[in-house]
Chain A
Amino acid sequence: MRLLSIELYKIFKRPRTYISFGIVTATALIFQLAMMSGGREFFKFGMQNITEQFDVQGSIINGYLVAYLILQSLLIQIPLLVALVAGDALAGEANMGTLRLVLTKPITRVQLVMIKFIASSVYTVALIVWLAVVALFLSLLIFGAGDMINLKSETFVMLLKDDVMWRYICAFGFACLAMTTIASLSLFLSAFADNSIGPIISTMGIVVVLTILSNLELPLFDAINPYLFTKHMIGWKGFFDNPVPYAAIGKSALVLVVYTVGFLGGTTFYFNKKDINS
């Protein structure tokens, strides 16, 4: 616990840590501002058929819908923000020169990797919680609650006002797991580098390429598609379906856990053998 509290202190004392929280806040506020000014006209047109045929309780543009839209728009940004800290965990220490000083102290390398991973995960969860605060609770404060319309490509799902909050709680929980996988990937890449830029950019590169692959419905990629972690990272959306596809969500969660354990195992194995020359 002592080592973990030291690690968390180091993370949360760095000004750069708060850049992520600032970006999440700014994105949410911009989105909410846009919805306040022009959202009503936009949705009036887009959802005319729905409102004519269904009795929607409360405003269509409510906090639940706005939060959902914000979450969708942050699909790529959040992994980057997670990589900013997790990618820096080992490589940043190597770059600063503090890694060699830390490793002259009586802690094992396995311990250090585990502490870095747990601390990165705590940061990830804190970021997701903050995202929940600014995207969901602030949107609810501004736009109020109401029935949520989840627009899909060809259909839509209507969720009653009292049936939404638990879905968000589950979705944020799932997002924590997905982003922890990203944190473990960044940490893995961080073990190979002596500078945090490399792991951060590499993490983003991997996420972007695999996301493109996940979305390409080409027969060529059919075989690997079910195993790409990016395919499963968006499993949180399942909580906004009716009925909730628990089996698919469970499978996605399992894949993410396997990837996380794999990345962490790889990090430990490599870092344990690495010569510290930085």
Chain B
Amino acid sequence: MATIIETRDLSKSFKNVDAVSGLSFSILKGDVYGFLGQNGAGKSTTMRMLLGLIYPNSGQIFINGTEFNNSRRYLLQHIGAIIERPDMYGYLSGWKNLEIFAALSRQQIPAARLHAVLEQVGLKGREKDKVKTYSQGMKQRLGIAIALVHEPDLLILDEPTNGLDPQGIADMRELIVSLSREHGKTVLVSSHLLHEIEQVATRMLVIHKGKKIVEGAVKDLLHPDETLVEVVIMKDATIAGKLAGTQWQQHLQASTDTGLTFKLNSKYIPELSKWLVMNGAGIMEIRTKHSLEDYFLSLTNDEVTKHRTV
């Protein structure tokens, strides 16, 4: 698949603080690319650089193979974006805001398209109200409508679920997935919430303190073949000894009187638990240690400095 965005060694600092440092990544056409990082990790700065709002100190950005700085105006015709909060002209109606930003996209967009996109984001019926009367969620929806109205090939959405209620979050997820699968759009979506990225993204990048920590396919990063399985048992000093010579011994990572830790594919958990019960272990709890949060925290932990690419 063709690359739609490529960054090479992108760096940006503000008053000697490195916001983004040597960031290189590429996004393929049709990807829903998750951009994951804690608050202040450099996600918004990177997205602003991709849109020409912030100038990088060094590095290059290519969109559809063209260097961004050389064709900014042309390339932006094919990009829709929301950066941080979707702020609009509060004293104007939702419809007028949409009309203004549609006109700024420099394309002739018929009124029918405006109606369609309002329908798509669930704002039909409220378009004549002034934006200052909108809830945060409604503003977010209008922001999405503005990003979509000129039917761009690439969407850059910075924390698009901010301020949305649970139903709104679910709708947004569904919208992002459908834009990619049904309409062939490429979506770059940022979040500080791993499970959000997990549910929509096909590929992802984790950024921490402006540096790339890991990049790859979501299924490879979040659902690896082997995971840590922690078994909490009733106090039994003999069970570890019984493991000797069995198939489970090679997976055993650690053992104590009350706990065993295995590294294995999670599909073997039922078989393992059956074996433990048959060998007299009183199982209190079985948990996989590879929770999303654990994974994210382990990646963004200060001790993790080695960059990984899957």
Interface residues of A (CB under 8 A from B): 2-3, 6, 9-10, 13-15, 96-98, 100-108, 273, 275-277
Contacts and interface: CB of A to CB of B under 8 A. Distances in A.
Given A6-B104, A276-B48, A276-B54, A104 B83 contact: yes
Contacts of A106: 72-74, 76-77, 104-106
A9 B55 CA distance: 31
B55 A275 contact: yes
Contacts, number: 78
Contact of B91 (A14, A103, A273): A14
16 contacts: A6-B100, A6-B103, A14-B91, A96-B89, A98-B88, A100-B83, A101-B86, A101-B143, A101-B146, A104-B53, A104-B79, A105-B76, A105-B106, A106-B105, A275-B48, A276-B54
Given A13-B92, A276-B54, A105 B101 contact: yes
Given A103-B52, A106-B104, 16 more contacts: A3-B104, A6-B100, A10-B92, A10-B100, A97-B84, A97-B87, A101-B83, A101-B86, A104-B53, A104-B81, A105-B101, A106-B72, A108-B73, A275-B48, A275-B53, A277-B54
Interface residues of B, number: 32
B90 interface: yes
B73 A275 contact: no
Nearest to B53: A276
A96 B73 contact: no
Nearest to B82: A101
B239 interface: no
B55 A104 contact: no
Contacts of A6: 100, 103-104
Nearest to B79: A104
Interface in B116-159: 143, 146
Contacts of B52: 103-104
A182 B86 CA distance: 32
A89 to B, nearest CB: 14
Contacts of B91: 13-15
B73 A107 contact: yes
A104 B51 contact: yes
Contacts of A103: 51-53
B183 interface: no
Contacts of B79: 104
B87 A105 contact: no
A10 to B, nearest CB: 6
A95 to B, nearest CB: 9
Nearest to A7: B100
Contacts of A2: 103
Interface in B263-290: none
B88 A101 contact: yes
Nearest to A98: B87
> Nearest 6 pairs between A and B by C-beta?
A97-B87, A105-B104, A276-B53, A106-B76, A275-B54, A104-B81
